[in-house]
């Protein structure tokens, strides 16, 4: 057996592709890690903005989470419909292209691709950063640990979809299970003690209030808390990864992810207010995350505490796997429309789009090496606004062209595959699904280049 077979596994035949499809149990860790892990930092991002309010700030976290859950519900039904309407996957790219035009679709694709790359760098950095905070002696090796984690995730994904589901399933369900146990115990204790439970380990005291609450401050906290909704779109991007019936399995997976995420967000917000737990200044000694304070307050600092915190660290670091599941499939769709090299459509030895996995790993590697400090909330907030930009201006890009502008997409432009972005006008030809069709040649037949 060769070294390649040992690392990546034996090559699979194309006839085995259906065997590599996943169900709901594997779909949650493969496509839901990003969304589920956001519960570990979304509420804390909101509480960080509310820090100047002191104890008063805790009274606003509940209403903020309720509004976020309302938005999450809208997203859920929207992506559920997207899965049924576009079973070929592609998410925002496919929806924007089919409804707003090719330019809007490409803008959405660019936002998604940037999101995937940043998610890899941010997720791994957050997980390793939390590990280094817990074990300060590892601080000099932060970059090395990040790159090793990136290499492991890349290798697991090159081995195939089913293998990644098995490998990432354990930390995912351990994370969900441990947090649900903590939230359940905390909720029962809170109810039995009249809403004022006694913490096993007292959380850090809240700072004194230095300012009054304002609409602007609350809106900022809400915007930061919305980072808890990142990653929900991953299932709609990867419908083709599911076994038949693919649409039903994808919708069930989306439902499981959203329900778990909603329960975690509500529980963390409720217990944070009950136990008086707020965000701490990361620049000060003795910094602890909201999750760490919450687990300590509910169950103490015994064995279960370290198991729960270890699962949080693992899920944060491995949340990058969602990008490895979605980025190659998005590249394949874009390549099918002739806007990326056709090599991205080819499947590798393990029936995954390995050509799309390698550049994702390379871009994240370079980003992590050249930018030592990566703030998850800041990066995800910027990408949230970029997605909003794609939706807001898609219509203008698709159909509103001013004087002297280039001709629109509908039957006016042709992209020459080997010649970069050079275009020619062909009034008598049409573009269907990104392919140039000649009236005399019939659909799907590409005429020879001039």
CA dist 152 and 157 (Å) reads 9
**What is the bridge-based pairing of β-strands 435-437 and 430-432?**
antiparallel
Residue 265: both structure tokens together: 């967000």
In this structure, the answer to whether residues 388 and 433 fall within a common structural domain is no
At residue 424, the 3 state secondary structure works out as strand
Closest CA to 65 of 229, 213, 231, 175: 229
In this structure, the answer to whether residues 356 and 419 fall within a common structural domain is no
Q: Which of 358, 376, 398 corresponds to the end of one domain?
A: 398
CA dist 346 and 356 (Å) reads 9
- pTM (2 decimals)? 0.74
Q: Is 403 part of a structural domain of the chain?
A: no
- Would you state the pLDDT for residue 370? 64
Convert the pLDDT of each residue in 12-61 to its tens digit: 666 666 777 888 998 898 888 888 988 888 898 899 999 999 888 899 99
In this structure, the answer to whether residues 367 and 415 fall within a common structural domain is no
Secondary structure element (H or E) that encloses residue 65, with its range: helix 58-85
- Helix ranges, 276-341 (H): 290-299, 303-318, 321-336
In this structure, the answer to whether residues 69 and 189 fall within a common structural domain is yes
In this structure, the answer to whether residues 442 and 334 fall within a common structural domain is no
Q: Is 11 part of a structural domain of the chain?
A: no
- Would you state the pLDDT for residue 292? 87
In this structure, the answer to whether residues 354 and 426 fall within a common structural domain is no
In this structure, the answer to whether residues 392 and 428 fall within a common structural domain is no
Domain count, the chain: 2
CA distances from 450 to 22, 103, 158, 437 (A): 44, 24, 39, 15
Q: Is 297 part of a structural domain of the chain?
A: yes
In this structure, the answer to whether residues 426 and 278 fall within a common structural domain is no
Q: Please tell me what DSSP assigns to residue 406.
A: P
Q: Is 435 part of a structural domain of the chain?
A: yes
In this structure, the answer to whether residues 94 and 180 fall within a common structural domain is yes
In this structure, the answer to whether residues 319 and 413 fall within a common structural domain is no
In this structure, the answer to whether residues 290 and 355 fall within a common structural domain is yes
Q: Is 428 part of a structural domain of the chain?
A: yes
Q: Which of 354, 374, 398 corresponds to the end of one domain?
A: 398
CA dist 86 and 81 (Å) reads 8
In this structure, the answer to whether residues 414 and 386 fall within a common structural domain is no
- Would you state the pLDDT for residue 4? 63
Q: Is 425 part of a structural domain of the chain?
A: yes
Domain that holds residue 87: 17-398
- Below-70 pLDDT ranges, the chain: 1-2, 4-9, 11-17, 90, 133, 348-351, 368-450
Q: Is 300 part of a structural domain of the chain?
A: yes
Q: Which of 398, 419, 441 corresponds to the end of one domain?
A: 398
CA dist 348 and 351 (Å) reads 5
Q: Is 8 part of a structural domain of the chain?
A: no
**Residue 318 maps to which CATH number?**
1.20.1740.10
């Amino acid at each position: 057996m060769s070294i390649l077979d040992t690392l990546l596994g034996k090559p699979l035949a194309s006839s085995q592709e259906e065997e590599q499809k996943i169900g709901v149990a594997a779909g949650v860790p493969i496509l839901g890690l990003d969304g589920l892990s956001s519960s570990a930092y979304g509420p804390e991002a909101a509480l960080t903005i509310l820090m100047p309010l002191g104890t008063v700030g805790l009274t606003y976290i509940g209403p903020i989470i309720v509004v976020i859950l309302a938005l999450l519900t809208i997203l859920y039904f929207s992506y559920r419909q997207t899965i049924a309407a576009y079973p070929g996957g592609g998410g925002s790219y496919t929806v924007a292209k089919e409804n707003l035009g090719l330019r809007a679709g490409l803008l959405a694709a660019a936002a998604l691709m940037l999101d995937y790359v940043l998610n890899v760098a941010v997720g791994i950095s957050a997980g390793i950063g939390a590990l280094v905070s817990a074990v300060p002696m590892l601080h000099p090796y932060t970059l090395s640990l990040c790159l090793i984690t990136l290499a492991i995730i890349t290798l697991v994904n090159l081995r195939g979809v089913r293998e990644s589901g098995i490998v990432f399933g354990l930390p995912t369900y351990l994370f969900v299970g441990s947090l649900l146990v903590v939230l359940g115990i905390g909720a029962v204790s809170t109810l039995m003690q009249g809403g004022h439970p006694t913490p096993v380990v007292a959380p850090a005291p809240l700072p004194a209030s230095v300012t009054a609450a304002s609409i602007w401050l609350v809106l900022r906290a809400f915007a930061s808390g919305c980072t808890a909704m990142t990653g929900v779109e991953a299932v709609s991007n990867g419908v083709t990864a599911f076994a038949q019936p693919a649409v039903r399995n994808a919708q069930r997976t989306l439902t499981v992810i959203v329900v778990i995420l909603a329960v975690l967000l509500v529980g963390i917000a409720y217990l944070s207010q009950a136990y008086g737990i707020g965000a701490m200044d990361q620049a000060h000694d003795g910094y602890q995350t909201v999750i760490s304070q919450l687990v300590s307050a509910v169950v103490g600092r015994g064995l279960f505490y370290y198991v729960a915190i270890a699962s949080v660290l693992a899920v944060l670091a491995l949340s990058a796997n969602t990008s490895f599941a979605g980025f190659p499939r998005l590249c394949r769709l874009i390549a099918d429309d002739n806007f990326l090299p056709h090599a991205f459509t080819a499947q590798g030895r393990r029936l995954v789009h390995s050509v799309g996995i390698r550049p994702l790993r390379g871009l994240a590697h370079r980003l992590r090496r050249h930018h030592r400090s990566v703030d998850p909330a800041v990066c995800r907030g910027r990408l949230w606004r970029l997605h909003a930009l794609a939706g807001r201006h898609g219509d203008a890009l698709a159909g509103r062209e001013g004087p002297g502008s280039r001709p629109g997409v509908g039957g006016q432009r042709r992209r020459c595959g080997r010649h970069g972005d050079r275009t020619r006008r062909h009034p008598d030809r049409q573009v269907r699904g990104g392919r140039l069709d000649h009236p005399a040649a019939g659909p799907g037949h590409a005429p020879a280049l001039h």
